[in-house]
Amino acid sequence: MTDDDLDPSAARPLSSARSDVGRVRSVNEDTALARYPLYVVADGMGGHERGDRASRTAIETLDALVPADAEVTPAVLLDAVRAANTAVRELRDPVTGALSGTTITGLAVVRAETGATHWMVFNVGDSRVYRWNGRTLSQLTVDHSVVQELVDAGHITQLEAEHHPDRNTITRALGAADEVEIDAWLLPYAGAQTFLVCSDGVTKELGMFDLEKLLSGHADPDRGLADSIVQAALDAGGRDNVTAIVVESGEFVDAAMFSTEKRDRAFELDDTHPRSPL
């Protein structure tokens, strides 16, 4: 079989997406885009309209530079993220000089120079991409956050990270500096794969087990799994903006239906912010 036989357009992934302001906030600072070949979430910060504009500007830049309906090269995708960084930098308030910032996290179908097709996962900030294989959920991205650094250094556990006073401080964001360092991973584009792209409004309300149960369940076919996940995060409190994209390629993994459970945790309003104030 040659690469020409593996025409990704012959079996494009199915996707569902939902973004919700949540139960506490008045502005949705998250923005999402889900259309072949790009599936991406941005979670803006900087307060009120600044975060809102930052995430929207980042996604609009990617939408303009990553054409719909065709795979792009990895270089085109990474250049689009860098252009989004520049566009967010340009939102600087001319009077106060205040910067806007946003996370940018997602995946795209890319075609390497060899002609081989891959999934490319990319991340700046603390939104996340997970892979679901029908039985286990794996987090593919690594948060750019103070608590992740503390976990990596062995100073605190993952459980302690959830309650740490710096849990909302991120160490990388679009808009924070002229140059942006982008984490990226290439995965084979083959077989049945399901990915979840989400903002921290999902992961602060729902644990891995909750997400696994939701991804195993039967979604309303008209609304999709992303809707079920966002609804569950809202039912669990919805203290932040809540955004999810579910991308399913290849054979759909069917499993028994599970009900969702509310998490019984008390939260205060959590604001994500960069390590150096924007």
- What residues make contact with Mg ion under the rule CB under 5 A? 43, 199-201, 240, 272
DSSP string, 28-54: --EEEEEETTEEEEEEEESSHHHHHHH
For residue 105, give the amino acid letter.
T
Report the distance separating Cα 263 and Cα 155, nearest Å.
26
95's CB contacts (< 8 A; 6+ apart) are none
Output 77 or 99, the one with its CB closest to Mg ion: 99
What's the min distance (Å) between Cβ of 197 and Mg ion? 13
What's the min distance (Å) between Cβ of 43 and Mg ion? 4
What's the min distance (Å) between Cβ of 241 and Mg ion? 5
Output 71 or 240, the one with its CB closest to Mg ion: 240
Burial of residue 153 (number of CB atoms within 10 Å: 0-12, 13-18, 19+): exposed
Burial of residue 255 (number of CB atoms within 10 Å: 0-12, 13-18, 19+): middle
Output 169 or 199, the one with its CB closest to Mg ion: 199
Output 13 or 201, the one with its CB closest to Mg ion: 201
- Crossing angle, helix 224-235 and helix 208-216, to 10 degrees? 140
Pairing verdict, β 273-274 and 169-170 = parallel
Report the distance separating Cα 102 and Cα 56, nearest Å.
9
What's the min distance (Å) between Cβ of 180 and Mg ion? 19
**Residues for the chain: how many in total?**
278
What's the min distance (Å) between Cβ of 184 and Mg ion? 22
Output 89 or 167, the one with its CB closest to Mg ion: 167
Instruction: Determine contact, residues 38/108, Cβ cutoff 8 Å.
Output: yes
What's the min distance (Å) between Cβ of 230 and Mg ion? 13
Output 66 or 173, the one with its CB closest to Mg ion: 173
